[in-house]
Structure formats: C-alpha cells, structure tokens
Chain A
C-alpha cells in the first residue's frame, strides 16, 4: 500500500532563508507525486506535480521539488522565503495500485519569521 510521510508538522524559517519541506513516499510501483498548498480558510492549490518526466519539477511561486527514486523522496524547496509563503503544505502520491487516488501526507505548517 502507498503512504506518504512528511517530516515535521511545523517548520519555521526566517524571511529570505531557504525553505525545505520533506516528503517521503512508499510505493512498489512508479508514483505520481504532488505538492499542494493550503492558505488559511482556503482550498488546496496545486504547487507542482511529478508525472515521470523531468525529475526536477518547477512549480508556482518559486517552489520546486526533486524526485529521487533511490531515496523515495520528493522534497519541496524554495531559495528565499517570503512572508506570503506561510501556509500548510501537503505532499500526495498517486499510483495505479491506489487506482490513481491521491494518498496524502499529514501536512507541514510553514512559519515565516520576520
């Protein structure tokens, strides 16, 4: 069965610092991987997705993620944090074994310190 682990329920970084949000997945078949962001009182918005093309995926708002099969990871990064990046971030995996349904991590709340 597929699963997603997001390390750290809360991550705090200073404005201008590197953002690194960790996601590890478990799957015996090739995965599709997603990062979504959820701002307070809003729905989830797709940041980026990996669908077996380039392993380095660029998304919106300056975020990117790299698929590393050997590490079963899909960590999300941004070189320089902005105050507006404060939100909750969710990693999700989808495979043929899950009938292509999204299996979600528990989320990481990103806190930006001024």
Chain B
C-alpha cells in the first residue's frame, strides 16, 4: 500500500490552456473522489466514482471540467480553457466502500497545486 498519489504536484499554466491531472488511488479501493481546495477553505467536493462509474458531480462543476476513471483504477481530471479562478489545490481521495450508501474513510493524496496566470 503506497497511498494515494497525484501527478503533477504543481502546474503553472496560462489562461485559456487545457490541463490534465492524474490520480492513482490505493489499489483495492473502489471509490475515488476529486476535491478542490482554495486558501483558507476546506475541500470542496467536485465528483466521485464507484469503480469506473461517475456517480455524482457537484452542481458547482463547470462544463469545462471533466473527469474519467476508464478502468476503475486511476483517474484523470481535465480542465479546459483554464481561468484564473481555477487556481487552487486539486485533491484526490480514495476509499473502500462495502455498502451502497455508507461513510467510508477517505484517504487523500498530496494534491496538485494549479496556478493559472
């Protein structure tokens, strides 16, 4: 068990560019979550997957954001046409869910810090 990993750790991009982040969850975990965190705030839920199915997306998630988990293992989060307001830390978490509706312990990765110039 090597924990949740995220790549890259830091990304600087110019406004209007597309960026993609990767998350590798703990290997046996079936749920994967994406959050956004800005300075002085708690994490803000973006979306989550149960295996390869995307089960929920935040209403705050703009259509410029898309996430995939094609084989139920790693996940990618893409932001198209980035804006300065997208600058934040993007966190990934994974958990092992043994019941359809349950509160599992989420294990977090170190995050990807995005800066949009």
Residues of A at under 8 Å CB distance from B? 4, 9, 32, 36, 41-46, 49, 51, 90, 92, 94, 96, 99-102, 104-107
Contact = CB atoms under 8 A, between A and B. Distances in A.
Contact of A32 (B42, B103, B108, B109): B103
B82 to A, nearest CB: 22
Interface of B: 4, 40-45, 48, 56, 91, 93, 101-103, 105-111
Contact of A46 (B4, B105, B109): B105
Contacts of A94: 103
Nearest to B5: A43
Nearest to B110: A43
Grouping DSSP codes into helix (H, G, I), strand (E, B) and loop, the B interface class, with mixed when no group exceeds half, is: loop
B41 A100 contact: no
Given A32-B103, A51-B103, A100-B103, A45 B43 contact: no
B8 to A, nearest CB: 14
17 contacts: A32-B103, A41-B110, A42-B110, A43-B4, A43-B109, A44-B93, A49-B103, A49-B105, A92-B42, A96-B101, A100-B101, A101-B56, A102-B43, A102-B106, A104-B43, A107-B41, A107-B42
Contacts of A105: 42
B93 to A, nearest CB: 8
B42 A101 contact: no
Given A32-B103, A96-B101, A107-B40, A101 B109 contact: no
Nearest to A98: B45
Nearest to A91: B42
A107 B43 CA distance: 9
